[in-house]
Amino acid sequence: MIGQSLECLRPTAALRDSVIAFEKQMDRDPDAVEIEEVLDLCSVLVELDARVSDQLPPVKALSRTDKPFFRLEEMQEYMNCALTNLQAADGSLTVLDQRIGSLSRSIAI
């Protein structure tokens, strides 16, 4: 579970870095920026959001389960770590969605 959650968190961080670089490029030379570049960022965002959205509910459910077979303290710690990773990715994707939308509007103007 932790591995899967990291496979969402790492590319989310990479997307954040790409958005920051794109924003800097826009600040330096807005005419050099193409809408296709924003659409590429948006495509990555949509794919990552789908992955996180698919994983978050079952990990939440498993981290809260009180079934006897799942009460192992070690397992609970792993689930909580995976949940924290997915929640961090989810929060970042929400912010990145707003930033990418702002970039899109800036180019369209």
pLDDT of residue 94: 97
Q: What's the chain's length in residues?
A: 109
pLDDT of residue 42: 96
Is residue 108's pLDDT more than 90? no
Q: What is the CATH number of domain 2-108?
A: 1.20.58
pLDDT of residue 46: 97
Lowest pLDDT segment from 25-34, 46-55, 60-69, 83-92: 60-69
The domain limits of the chain are 2-108
* Contact of 99 with 19, CB cutoff 8 Å: yes
Query: CA distances (Å), 48 to each of 1, 11, 66, 93, in order?
Result: 16, 8, 30, 8
pLDDT of residue 73: 66
Average pLDDT of the residues in 88-100: 97
Q: What pLDDT, in 10s, does the model give residues 35-69? A: 899 999 999 999 999 999 999 999 988 887 766 66
The one-letter amino acid code at 33 reads V
Q: d(Cα 55, Cα 58) in Å, to the nearest integer?
A: 6
pLDDT of residue 18: 96
More confidently predicted of 10 and 32: 10
- The set of residues, in sequence order, having a beta carbon less than 8 Å from that of 97 and lying 6+ positions away, is 45, 49
